[in-house]
Amino acid sequence: MVGDPNPTARALLALELIQASPGITADRLADRLGVSDRAARRYVATLRDADIPIESVRGPYGGYRIGRGLRPPPLMLTVAEALALVMAVLDGHHDADDQAQPVGTALSKIVRSLPAAVAGPVQAVRETAAPAPDRGAARPDPTTATTLVQACSAHRRVRVAYRSEGGNAWQTVVDPWAVVVRHGRWYLLCHSLSSDARRAYRVDRVEGVELLDETFTPPEDLDPVAELEAHLAVGWEFDVEVLLQAPAHRVQQWLPRDLGRVEPVDGSTSRLVGSTSNPPWYAERLAVVPVDFRVLGGPELRACVRTVGRRMLAATDEVSSA
């Protein structure tokens, strides 16, 4: 048995299931409701009596679906669903109670629409939780992000106005492949027409987007996350080459892909090749590798690894008493 045994509650749950799974069959609906096929059809009939347009299609690919003219039903969330939603918002947006921010006003509307039994614990979590701000997060303008996502979905070329971290501003025309959210930052993975190369732009630094009439065909079998991480590992000013005493498949499990490309040397050794703009940060990432390694390339990285090594050794020195 699923949910409240009250017939009205079961009918509303049947409506939710049909909305979530258009084409759901009577036997699947009955199974989800925990009732017989006959009872499931009776709940569908109840919905139709309430002027909710439930359509049914016969045949092997048939089932129930919502027809045209349905007014939005009441928002139905369980306590667990509502709490999970609020917790996710608090985790990602620490201004969730700021009524001047869209996420704060949206969350307030959702909480107000919930029944008292659900809204009570949800509001308690919202008011008492004290999330720490993620200083690495950089949230873009929602309208800009939405426009870029829609352009990716429609394969529409766009002109973007961009401002780099150093303050340089320019406009460029790109084919937007995907929007990727990574470690609290939003990136536009795209192909730049002016440079004929793939680019990754921070969406929070995009100052304007113009949809163009031209369309494009994205690369086949595109893996946006893998492409972004591979892109972030190359093109920086300091080259990196590291020999690791472990096979490539093991090293790939330890190191994030944005550190560079892992190549097998032989069955027990592999090579990490990449670049970085921040050698001290890169040296600290290497310090957690659980096998021996040697920095072959990049004098800047070698110097930083030596510094990290000296600091680690100093941490084990005996403190002489006065």
pLDDT of 3 = 46
User: Beta partners for 192?
Assistant: 174, 197
Give dist(CA 113, CA 122) in Å, integer. Answer: 12
Distances (CA, A) of 168 to 37, 174, 182, 209: 65, 18, 24, 17
Residue 125: closest CA among 95, 82, 162: 82
Give the pLDDT of residue 229. Answer: 81
The predicted structure's pLDDT at residue 160: 96
Spatial strand order of the sheet with 156-163 comes to: 197-202, 185-192, 169-182, 156-163, 206-215
**What pLDDT does residue 213 have?**
95
Q: Beta 293-297 vs 238-244: how paired, if at all?
A: antiparallel
Strand, coil or helix: 253? helix
Q: What is the mean pLDDT of each run of 10 residues along the chain (322 residues)?
A: 64 85 88 90 89 78 76 72 80 69 80 81 79 72 89 95 86 94 86 90 94 94 86 81 94 85 92 90 92 93 94 83 54
Say how many Å lie between the first and final Cα of the chain, rounded.
74
Q: Given this model, what pLDDT does residue 154 score?
A: 92
Measured in degrees and rounded to the nearest 5, phi and psi for residue 82 equal -65, -40
Count CB neighbours of 38 within 10 A: 9
Q: Which residues pair with 238 in a beta bridge?
A: 276
Q: How far is residue 203 from each of residues 6, 60, 126, 134, measured CA to CA in Å?
A: 48, 45, 28, 17
CA distance 119 to 224: 38
pLDDT of residue 106: 82
pLDDT recorded at residue 294: 95
